[in-house]
Amino acid sequence: MSIRVLAAGDHFVQNRLLIDALRREVPGEVDVRELTLPWPVEPFGRVGEVDEASDVEDELIEALRGVEVCVTQMAPLTKRVLDASPDLRLFCVSRGGPVNANLEAAARAGVAVTYAPGRNAVATAEHTLAMLLAATRRIPQTHADLAGGVWRGDYYMYDNVGPELEGSTVGLIGYGAIGRRVARMLEGFGANVLVHDPYADVPGGGVGLSELLERARFVSLHARATAETAGMIGAAEIAAMPRGSVLVNCARGALLDYDALCDALDSGHLFGAAMDVFPEEPIPPGSRLLTTPNLVMTPHLAGASKETAMKAAAIVAADVARYVRGEPLAHVATP
Q: From the candidates 119, 181, 196, 300, which is the catalytic residue?
A: 300
Residue 37, phi then psi, degrees to nearest 5: -90, 155
DSSP at 167:
T
Distance from C-alpha of 148 to C-alpha of 146, rounded to nearest angstrom:
5
Alpha-carbon gap, residue 129 to 222, rounded angstroms? 12
Catalytic residue among 127, 252, 322, 331: 252
> Which regions of 177-260 does DSSP assign to beta strands (E)?
192-196, 218-221, 245-249
Sheet of 90-93: strand order equals 30-34, 3-8, 69-72, 90-93, 112-114
Q: How far is CA 177 from the centre of its chain?
A: 12
DSSP designation for 193: E
Cα distances (angstroms) measured from residue 335 to each of 16, 40, 54, 319: 31, 30, 25, 16
CB 174 within 8 A of CB 183: no
Active site residue 327: no
Q: Which of 34, 42, 211, 281 is catalytic?
A: 281
Is residue 300 among the annotated active site residues?
Answer: yes
- 127 in catalytic set: no
Distance CA 50, CA 103 (A): 10
CA 325 – CA 25 distance, rounded (Å): 11
- The residues that are catalytic are 252, 281, 300
